[in-house]
Structure 1
């Protein structure tokens, strides 16, 4: 057992000081940035990261002792709170009327008090490390006071009672509309207004045109790089693709990511970054094979941090994979004004976030 939560990637090389990336996107890995006293402020998975208007890094974790951890940019602990979000999975921080608010996504997967100590992937077992319940969305003040929640869509007649709701991410449009991915539940993308009132949903897995399906949809953001053409970019992680939709749900295309089980985009200027949980190796998602992809304005991969150098042949992206030198499973990230990255991981020995310092 790793008692001090020191990050140990698969290669057993301490990645502190390691350089990752290619071309204009190269970073020095600071694996000690977010280390805390695991007895006082433990983590399970570092699931979601965001920056507030004061430049603080806010992270959610599904550890039952504390669900929200707040750092400054030097990695110093500023605050930790929350036990009411056992499946904490993602968050967005939005400034509304001059005040930051948090939209926190609880996926419904919770640590099992009856865990047998060994089962981690037997999802149907009552003795697995995590077990499923229904998830929800909570809108909160920055210090954790509840404003409202969005619960199971069956309560408003949108889902049948037998359809699970285990949301994975949320995006907030400029008009305040909310877009929620149900990636561990029924794989729909649900749209609500700023007051949490249902508007529509789409996706799922049984569309006449399979391109409209979503599968293990795991991240979402509004692409505002062209202010005249705002649209949604959505992870369909199990299909190893990012899918594009109009804000009203109309399908407009997909970005194939060549073997990357990819999460949602994080935009920074003309580029966006996307965490990759697994590489597709030998026909399956390989353990401890995550990396981060960097895309340009034309949605082409220009660098892989901790992954192979991207290559296009006749306009087709060739298979990408981890280089096995730093990451386990990249799950979330945020970018600061100096273009440094803060990276959270799933199933990484209770590892705290890394900082990738832009060169």
Structure 2
């Protein structure tokens, strides 16, 4: 398998389906300072039990830094992207057994999307252009987006928009996310760079960009455009849901970049919107305290219904509306998560949670109850 991959993952090591927890410290042990797994979290019809030892891997063989995002492929496998270059990609079955791992060239591995073309799954991997040295200090580099097969063969790469005259010389490009439209168009969220959403066709050719910071109508701006998703709940009228994380909201656009509305999420620094049936799920990376100040290790998850109303906050306080307006939401008194970064929802409505800055822990499984 190794020989079938291009240079960008030349040194990746592939594991077989027999990989399990090796001797030594396990990820389950790293969770010992958290609350017990029998705690039921969430609200309304969206309640869960957390399994923090779900991933059957060892820190000795499969080290992790940050578990950024996860998707499920057509075979039911769960594919995770992280930023540890020993194994950027980890592939699990639903029991948490590790089936495969690969990738050594994405020190800023951040965004992961999946699309199907001609019956085959493809991945879009986003390197945000930020990484850490061995002392833990951040350093910057240019970001990139890679389209690959699920086993790591490179199809094409999208580099800095400046190279095709789209960005000015002083506009940074540090992409955080992608989404693929029904016609194959690719939308890139430049969430750590210039906050544009950049639209390409299925071959990676530029079409347009929108968002950013300089629109006359401030609602059209994005501030930390951390995520972008295709909302197909209305099959005849698909839309884009874009994260404006520093504004604690989602902003909804047409597929050609026209602003429709915003969905306010007061107190919540939300990551990408994950659509499942009629619901939106999202990780909350930080929340605010009662005084309105953001603080670290204050993340949780949030779930919205078809009318964009929050119905559950697993790991957070129950949603409260006054006069139809959502009130600021805090982390629960018994924290379960540190920084919720992404979720993946399987066919049984179980949720797999990836976290940033969470003591190098593996994804947590939430079993619906």
**Same fold by TM-score greater than 0.5:** yes
Alignment partner of 1:306 is 2:327: no
> In the alignment, is the contact (CA less than 8 A) between 1:15 and 1:30 conserved in 2?
no
Alignment of 1:91-106 (within 5 A): 91-106=112-127
Q: Which runs of 4+ in 1 moved over 6 A?
A: none
Moved more, 284-293 or 134-143: 284-293
Q: For each residue in 1:100-142, what CA deviation from the matched residue of structure 2 results, as whole angstroms up to 9, or x when unmatched?
A: 11111111111214x3x5xxxxxxxxxx2x2111110000011
Q: Which residue of 2 aligns with 1:276?
A: 284
Alignment of 1:131-142 (within 5 A): 131-142=139-150
Q: Which residue of 1 aligns with 2:7?
A: none
> In the alignment, is the contact (CA less than 8 A) between 2:56 and 2:98 conserved in 1?
no
Aligned counterpart in structure 1 of residue 302 of structure 2, from 293, 304, 314: 293
Q: Structure 2: 5+ residue runs without aligned partners?
A: 1-23
Alignment partner of 1:22 is 2:43: yes
TM-score of the aligned structures, taking structure 1 as reference length: 0.93
Q: For each residue in 1:128-179, what CA deviation from the matched residue of structure 2 results, as whole angstroms up to 9, or x when unmatched?
A: 2x21111100000111000000000000000122211010010000000011
Moved more, 321-330 or 188-197: 321-330
Q: Which residue of 1 aligns with 2:359?
A: 349
Q: Which residue of 1 aligns with 2:183?
A: 175
> In the alignment, is the contact (CA less than 8 A) between 2:176 and 2:189 conserved in 1?
yes
Aligned counterpart in structure 1 of residue 87 of structure 2, from 66, 72, 81: 66
> In the alignment, is the contact (CA less than 8 A) between 2:38 and 2:49 conserved in 1?
yes
* CA spacing shift, 1:131–1:3, aligned 2, 3 Å: farther
> In the alignment, is the contact (CA less than 8 A) between 1:15 and 1:326 conserved in 2?
no
How many residues matched?
344
Q: Which residue of 2 aligns with 1:318?
A: 327
> In the alignment, is the contact (CA less than 8 A) between 2:25 and 2:58 conserved in 1?
no
> In the alignment, is the contact (CA less than 8 A) between 1:15 and 1:325 conserved in 2?
no
Q: Which residue of 2 aligns with 1:338?
A: 348
> In the alignment, is the contact (CA less than 8 A) between 1:7 and 1:349 conserved in 2?
no
Distance across 2 between alignment mates of 1:177 and 1:279: 33
The RMSD of aligned alpha carbons is 1.5
> In the alignment, is the contact (CA less than 8 A) between 1:5 and 1:349 conserved in 2?
no
Q: Which residue of 1 aligns with 2:19?
A: none
Q: Which has the higher contact order (CA 8 A, sep 6+)?
A: 1
> In the alignment, is the contact (CA less than 8 A) between 2:27 and 2:55 conserved in 1?
no
Aligned counterpart in structure 2 of residue 87 of structure 1, from 97, 108, 117: 108
Aligned counterpart in structure 2 of residue 154 of structure 1, from 153, 162, 173: 162
Aligned-pair distance for 1:14? 3.3
Moved more, 148-157 or 91-100: 91-100
Distance across 1 between alignment mates of 2:226 and 2:36: 27
> In the alignment, is the contact (CA less than 8 A) between 1:8 and 1:14 conserved in 2?
no
SS at match of 1:332: strand
